[in-house]
Structure 1
């Protein structure tokens, strides 16, 4: 599954866990109750699986995930996965190929922070690239602030790029992902709200599209346009 559809993957995992507990006895009651294409797809796979298994309650969840993985369209906003890191997470070497300025060769920090807070490192890197002009902003060069993190007196100052990256990851986990903000658009509405008083030049208008663009690039391995 493309990492750009991780929100669907998270919902998929949760739905499968809930559905698998229902057992075969409830499968017949699900017919006609689906409200969207995703639910219809899930029902179809469960019914197909029923033909080859006596009970879906004993079905290996990973097997069902793999089947749905091949069927779900490769679309959707790029998002962090709240349950676990994606198997297609971008490696530090691939990140480093895109990181410039003071972000150069910091891919391993994004990976370590991503692992600690259960966030895709590509999302952390995409936010940093957008916020700093890929490591060239004054905030990044003189304050080691690579995520636009604010404190009581304005932009925070860090002792290192590593510290800034880990603080960004902590903030995203505690104040965004754990509160149900799972897509870049949902994160951006709070992280960089349009019309904010501290955004006189209206740069926040481009936050979601910018971060999404970098995220897509980092997870597909293509070059920036």
Structure 2
């Protein structure tokens, strides 16, 4: 009776042993593979770093969508989104305007006026910052005539106004500013509030009010070349961006 019972149970016992053997082999193989990967990573840290670096470089070299550069013209709308940094703009500035690129960009961005136009306007009005009114006590790089009411409106009633002064006796009364930075800021706000918002948005439209031909303070007729000069200065900068 006992022999018969053992004979019947033997195949089931052998099957169980076989299943356990296969499971053990599988677990051992998995652990061995995992350990091998860990050892390989530890033994090849440089290779892993190189792979991460390559992946990062591939991400950086993905094409970035860039906005097309609009070249300046008489019909150029000065209310433009900025496309240039301060240091980049400064590369194109000359004379006493050199080093003011960041100030033009800051004021332009704050008041939605193209900084390249602001810089070109300053270059036109002051000979790249080399005229007398661009230096102390005027600090005026926009060719701004005396306008105390507008000065107070832009800066506030409590902001000190250094007043106005003629460059030569009997000549134009020029607005003074506490600093060159104030002059740039004033110019951006002035253009926004008194030109753009009143429908004078293009370089040509601004010229008819800002620097009209046959103006009383333009005896040599420089205003006749105002648009052409500003467009030329702006496009010298924009050509490098295009």
Which bracket does the TM-score occupy, shorter chain normalised? 0.5 to 0.7
Partners of 1:94 and 1:161 lie apart in 2 by 20
The reply on whether 1:140 has 2:140 as its aligned counterpart is no
1:102 Cα deviation after fit: 2.1
Partners of 1:4 and 1:183 lie apart in 2 by 13
Within the candidate set 57, 81, 95, 1:85 is matched to 81
Match of 1:207 in 2: 226
Match of 1:190 in 2: 209
Partners of 2:124 and 2:240 lie apart in 1 by 17
- Show structure 1 runs of 4+ deviating over 4 A: none
1:141 Cα deviation after fit: 2.1
Over 3 Å counting, the alpha-carbon distance change for 1:77 and 1:218 in structure 2 is farther
Over 3 Å counting, the alpha-carbon distance change for 1:168 and 1:146 in structure 2 is same
The answer as to whether partners of 2:142 and 2:187 remain within 8 angstroms in 1 is yes
Unpaired runs of 5+ in structure 2?
A: 1-67, 148-163, 165-172
Written as runs of structure 1 = structure 2, the 5 A alignment for 1:1-225 is: 1-4=68-71, 77-81=75-79, 85-86=81-82, 89-142=83-136, 143-152=138-147, 153=164, 154-221=173-240
1:216 Cα deviation after fit: 1.3
Match of 2:155 in 1: none
1:220 Cα deviation after fit: 2.0
Over 3 Å counting, the alpha-carbon distance change for 1:76 and 1:101 in structure 2 is closer
Unpaired runs of 5+ in structure 1?
A: 6-74
- SS, match of residue 217 in structure 2: coil
Deviations 1:124-163 (A, max 9, x none): 0010111111111111123211110111551111121100
Partners of 2:74 and 2:216 lie apart in 1 by 30
The answer as to whether partners of 2:142 and 2:184 remain within 8 angstroms in 1 is yes
Normalised to the residue count of structure 1, the TM-score between the two structures is 0.61
Deviations 1:39-96 (A, max 9, x none): xxxxxxxxxxxxxxxxxxxxxxxxxxxxxxxxxxxx8733313xx514xx12211211
- SS, match of residue 155 in structure 1: strand
Normalised to the residue count of structure 2, the TM-score between the two structures is 0.57
The answer as to whether partners of 2:143 and 2:174 remain within 8 angstroms in 1 is yes
Partners of 1:97 and 1:79 lie apart in 2 by 24
* Bigger Cα Rg: 2
